[in-house]
Amino acid sequence: MCRQIFDSASGEQIPATVAWVPERKGHIRFIGWKSEYFNQGGWTPLKRCQEVTQKFQEFYEKGS
């Protein structure tokens, strides 16, 4: 899922792709989306988070 998390390096909330890990009984962040490099094409960090997170979910559901 895509969630807002606190990024200690920037001191701001950023979108992040997180996953539930049953063995840890919690969520882990594995991609923090803070680069503004792609914004020119409308790909904000939040939009990239949402799109990529959905792809990960689809692969997971297919067993990939």
Distance CA 7, CA 33 (A): 10
Tens of pLDDT, residues 2-58: 999 999 999 999 999 999 888 988 888 889 999 888 887 889 999 999 999 999 999
Give the number of domains in the chain. 1
Q: Residue 19 in contact with residue 27, Cβ under 8 Å? A: yes
Distance CA 9, CA 15 (A): 14
Quote the domain boundaries for residue 19.
Answer: 2-61
**Residues making up the chain, counted from first to last:** 64
Q: What is the pLDDT of residue 62?
A: 95
